[in-house]
A and B are shown apart, each in its own frame.
Chain A
C-alpha cells in the first residue's frame, strides 16, 4: 500500500485542469481549442491515475482502502472529518466516472460550438464531484459532493441543451433537490443517534427498528429520485432528451448510479431491518418500473427518450437485485450498474452521432443507415445487444446474476423481471430495425458520413470493456465480492438478531 493520497489526487486533479482552462486567453477559437485539449489531457491523466486504484486494490478484504482522514470541522461536539476511502463496491464506480469523463470530452469535440471553455470546466468540476461522492466516508462530505453535482449538471442541461432545456433543467434540479434535502435531515438524525457523521461508524451501528423505518424512507426519497424509480422517474426522460449528448452520457452513466450506490452503501447496511420490512414495496416498485417503462419505451418515437425509458427499466432490475439481498443479486446489481453505465452511455453516444449529422432525434427520420454507415451499424448493434443482455456482453452477466439471486427470494418477482427482459429485447431491436435497417427513403441520408476516427476512438474502449465484462467477469467480480459478501452477511445477521429477540 502506498502512502500517496491517491483518492484526493484523483478527486481534485480535474480542478487543476479547471485552473489551467481559466488561464486560457485570446481568440475565441484558440481558447476553445486549448480548453478542449486541457480538458482531455486532464481527464485522461485522472483516468490513468485511477487505474492505479484498481492495481493496488486488495480484493481479499471488505475494509475500506486508500483511506485518508483529516479534521475538517470541529465545533463543540459536531465534528466532521474529510474522510475518504473505497471498497469493492465503490472502486468501479470511481473508475466508471473517470472513464466516462474523457469519453464525454472527446464526444463533445465538434458538437459544442458556444462557450466551449465553460463547457469543459463544467465537465471537469462534475468529475471532481462524482468521484468525491463515491469516495466520501463522511456523511457531510458525501452530501456536499452528492448535491454539488446538481450545479454543473443543471448548467450543462440548461446552457448546452436543446429547445426545451430550461424546463428539463429545472425539473431535474428541483426533483433531485427535494429528495436530497430529506436525506440531509436523516443524516442529521443519524449523527445524533451515532454521535458521529462518520459513515464507517454508522455502517456498524444498529439503529432501533422504529427509527430505521423513518430513516430508510428519507434516504429512499433521495435515492429513488436519483435511480430513478417509478413513480418519481418523470424528470429523467425530459432531462435526457434536452441534455447535450455528453450530458446524457454522464447522466445515465454515473448520476443514476448514485442512487443505486446509495442503496447498497447506506440503506442496506445501516437499515437492514427496515430494508427487509420494505422489500415488498421495493420489489413492487421495481417490477412496475421494469414492465411499465419497457412498455412505454416501445411506444416512443424519439430515440433519446426510448433509451431514457430503457435506462429506467434497467435500473429497476438493479433495485430489485439490491433488495433481494443475496450475494449473487447484489453483485449482479453492481455489475449491472457498471454495465448499464457503459452501455447506455454508448447508446446515447450512438444517438448523438446521428444528431450531430442530422440534428434530429425522431426515429421515423432515419432508416437504412446500414447502407451508408456500416461501422456505425456494427457499433450500434453491439451495444443494442449488450443492452438486451446477450450472453457474452456485460448486460448478460448483470441480469443473470440478479435473476439468479432474486429467484431464491421471490419467484414471482423473478418471473416479472424476466418478462421485462423479453420486452427489453423487443423495444431495442425494434429501434435498431427502424433506424439502421430498411432502405434509405430520404435524400439527405444518402450522403450521411460514417464514423470518423475520433468517434471510433470514443466507441472502441467502451466496446472492449463491455465484451471483457461479458466474457470474463471475474476480473470485475473479484474486487466486488468481498465487500458484497460482508454486506449480505451483515444484513443477514441483523435480521437473525431480530428474529432471536422476537422469540
Chain B
C-alpha cells in the first residue's frame, strides 16, 4: 500500500465537508436565532445528501489518506450511505416532533451532523487512533441529543445514563487499544495485519487488548451483556432521537466492529470468533425473550434492536466475505424496517400527546388501515417472514453461517432460527393488537407530509424488496469483497 509523500486529503473530503458544513450551519443558526430551526434542518438534510453524492464520486476503489490512517473503499462507501440516509431521515422525522414539544432548537440538526461526521470517520477508520477519534466525536454529540428534551426528567436521565456507560465503554476500548499497541507495537490496521499473520503463538496481552476493544464496541452496538443502557436510553430519549440512535450509530458501530476484526485481526479469527459467537447467542436470546414482557413500544424496539444485532453478529462470526455480505444486507434492510417503525411510533399521538404503549395501537386497522398495514409489514419483516425484506436479511446471514461448515456456526444458526421464532411472538403481538383488538382511540390526523413520505418509501421497500434484491445484495457483495483484498 503506497503512502503518498504529502498527506492526501481527497478521500476524506466528504468528512471534511460535513464538518465544515456543520459549523457553518451552527453560525447560520446563531445569527438567525431560534426561528431558524426549520431552515437549518432542511439545510442539514441537503448537506447530508450533498455529502452522499460527494462520497459516491470519490469512488469505490480503495484509497487512503493521512498516511494510511483513513481509508475509503467499497465497504466504507456502503456503510456511509446507510449512515447518511439514516441521519437525514432522522432529521426529517424530528422537525415536527421537536416543534410540537417545544424543543425545536437549531442545535439538533447541527449535533446530528457532527455525530454523523464521527460515524463516517468510524467507518473509514484504519488506525486505532482514528477509530477512537471518530467514536468519541460521535458519542459526545449523541450524549447531548439523548438529553435534548432538557426539561424532561426522563430525557435527562437517558442522556446521563448514556454518558456514564458510554464513557465506561470508551475507557475499556481505550485500554484495549493501548494493550494492542503495547504488544504489537503499532496502531495502524495495515501494519497490524502484516505483523499478525496467524502463524506462531499470539501473545496473551494482545488477546486481552483485542477482547477489551471488542467489549467497548459491543457497548456501542448494544450486544448482550453490554446492553443495559439500551432500553432506558431508548425509552427516555425523545422519540426522533431514539429513531436516530436505533439506526445511524448502529450502522457505524457495526461497520467499525467489522473492520476492526477483519482488517487487522482477520488472521486471529480463532482467538476472537468464540467471543463474537457468545455475544451473538446472548443477544439473540435476550433480545427475543426479554422483549416479550414489554408494554412500551420504544422499549420493545430497544430489545428488538439487541436481538437484531445478535443476528448481524452471526455474519461477523463467520468472518467470510459472504458473512460480511450478510451483515451488510442485514443492516441495509434493518435501516428501512426500523426507520419505518419509528415513523409509525411518531404518528402515535392523541390530542397532541405522544403515546408509547403497545395497547394504544389497539384496533388501528379499523381507524387507520394504511398506518396499520405499514406497521404490520415492518413487524412481519422484523420477524423475518417471507416475502418481506426481513426474510432476505436473515437468509443471507444463515447462508453464510452454514457455508462455513463449522459445527459451532451451524449451532449458532440453529439457535438463531429458534430465537427468531420466539421473537416472532412479540412482533406478532403488535400485529394482534392492531388487527384483532377493538379500537381504543383515534390518533391525531393528518399525518405530516414528511412522515407520510418516509412511511410510504420504507413500507414499499420493505414489502417489495423481493422483486429486485440484487442491487442491494450485489453492492454488499462488492463491499464485503473490498474488505478482504490484501
- Listed in ascending order, the chain A residues whose CB lies under 8 Å from chain B are 72-76, 78, 115, 118, 140, 143-145, 147-148, 150-151, 154-155, 158-159, 165-166, 169-170, 173-174, 177-178, 181-182, 184-185, 188-189, 191-192
Q: Using Cβ atoms and an 8 Å threshold, which residues of chain B touch A143?
A: 386
A174–B426 CA distance with the chains assembled, in angstroms: 11
Please tell me if the beta carbons of B428 and A76 are within 8 angstroms of each other in the complex: no
**A169 CA to B429 CA in the complex, in Å?**
11
- Please determine whether A144 and B428 come into contact, CB atoms closer than 8 angstroms: no
- B-chain residues with CB within 8 Å of residue A170 when the two chains form the complex: 425, 428, 432
Give B contacts to A, CB under 8 Å.
321-322, 325, 365-366, 369, 380, 385-387, 391, 395, 398-399, 402-403, 405, 410, 413-414, 417-418, 420-421, 424-425, 428, 431-432, 435-436, 466, 469-470, 473-474, 477
Residue of B nearest to A144 (CB): B386
Given contacts A155-B435, A158-B436, contact A78 B387 (CB under 8 A): no
Known contacts A170-B428, A174-B425, A181-B420; decide if A192 and B402 are in contact (CB<8 Å).
yes
Which residues of B sit under 8 angstroms from A188, Cβ to Cβ?
Answer: 395, 398-399, 402
Which of A150, A151, A181 makes the CB contact (< 8 A) with B417?
A181
Q: List A contacts of B387 (CB < 8 A).
A: 144, 148
Set of chain B residues within 8 Å of A154, measured between Cβ atoms: 428, 431
A75 — which chain B residues lie within 8 A by C-beta?
A: 325, 470, 473-474, 477
Answer whether A166 and B432 are a contact pair too, CB < 8 Å, given A75-B474, A174-B421, A181-B418. yes
Does A74 lie within 8 Å of B470, measured CB to CB? Answer: yes
Evaluate whether A158 and B385 lie within 8 angstroms (CB atoms) in the complex, with A173-B424, A178-B418 already known: no
Contact between A140 and B424 (Cβ–Cβ < 8 Å)? Answer: no
Q: Which B residues lie within 8 Å of A151 (CB)?
A: 380, 385
Q: A185-B414, A192-B402 are in contact. List 9 more A-B contacts (CB 8 A).
A: A76-B477, A147-B385, A147-B391, A150-B385, A158-B432, A174-B428, A177-B424, A185-B410, A192-B405
User: Which of chain B's residues have a CB closer than 8 A to the CB of A144?
Assistant: 386-387, 391, 466
In the complex, are the beta carbons of A78 and B399 less than 8 A apart? yes
A74 to B470, CA, bound (A): 7
| Bound-state Cα–Cα, A147 to B394, Å | 14
What is the chain B residue whose CB lies nearest that of A150?
B385
Which residues of A sit under 8 angstroms from B470, Cβ to Cβ?
73-75
In whole Å, how far is A490's beta carbon from the nearest beta carbon of chain B? 26
Nearest CB in chain A: distance from B338 CB, A: 20
Specify which chain B residues have a CB less than 8 angstroms from the CB of A118 in the assembled complex.
Answer: 365, 369
Cα distance, A140 to B321, chains bound together (Å): 21
**Residue of A at shortest CB range from B322?**
A76
What's the Cα separation between A267 and B425 when bound, in Å? 29
In the assembled complex, which residues on chain B have CB atoms less than 8 Å from the CB atom of A174? 421, 424-425, 428
Query: A192, B424: Cβ atoms under 8 Å?
Result: no
Q: Decide if the interface of chain B is mainly helix, strand, loop or mixed.
A: helix
Q: Can you spell out 13 A-B residue pairs with CB atoms less than 8 angstroms apart? A: A75-B473, A75-B474, A144-B386, A145-B386, A155-B431, A158-B436, A159-B365, A174-B424, A181-B421, A185-B402, A185-B413, A188-B395, A188-B399
State the Cβ distance, B16 to closest chain A Cβ, in Å: 34
What B residues does A150 contact at CB under 8 A? 385
Nearest CB on A from B232, distance (A): 29
Residues of chain A within 8 A (CB-CB) of B325 are 75-76
Smallest CB separation, B459 vs chain A (Å) = 15
State in angstroms the CA–CA spacing of A72 and B391 once bound together.
15
Q: Which residue of A lies closest to B480 (CB)?
A: A76
B473 to chain A, nearest CB (A): 5
Which residue on B lies nearest to A158, using beta carbons? B436
Q: By CB atoms of chain A within 10 A, which of B321, B387, B403, B473 has the most?
A: B387
Closest CB in chain A relative to B292 CB, distance in Å: 12
C-alpha spacing A256/B365, complex, angstroms: 29
CB A250 to nearest CB in B, in angstroms, measures: 18
B428 touches A173 (CB 8 A): yes
Q: List, in ascending order, chain A residues with CB within 8 A of B366's CB.
A: 115
Docked-complex contact B418 and A166, CB < 8 angstroms? no
Write out the residue numbers on chain A whose beta carbons fall within 8 Å of the beta carbon of B420: 181
* Shortest Cβ distance from B467 into A: residue: A72
Contact of A185 among B321, B417, B425, B431 (CB under 8 A): B417
State A173–B427 Cα separation when bound (angstroms).
Answer: 12
Given A140-B395, A151-B385: A182 touches B417 (CB 8 Å cut-off): yes
| Cβ–Cβ < 8 Å partners of B410 in chain A | 185
Give the chain A neighbours of B421 by CB distance below 8 A. Answer: 174, 177-178, 181
B435 engages A158 (CB within 8 Å): yes
Q: Return chain B residues, CB-CB under 8 Å to A192.
A: 402-403, 405
Task: Give the complex CA separation of A162 and B481 in angstroms.
Answer: 53
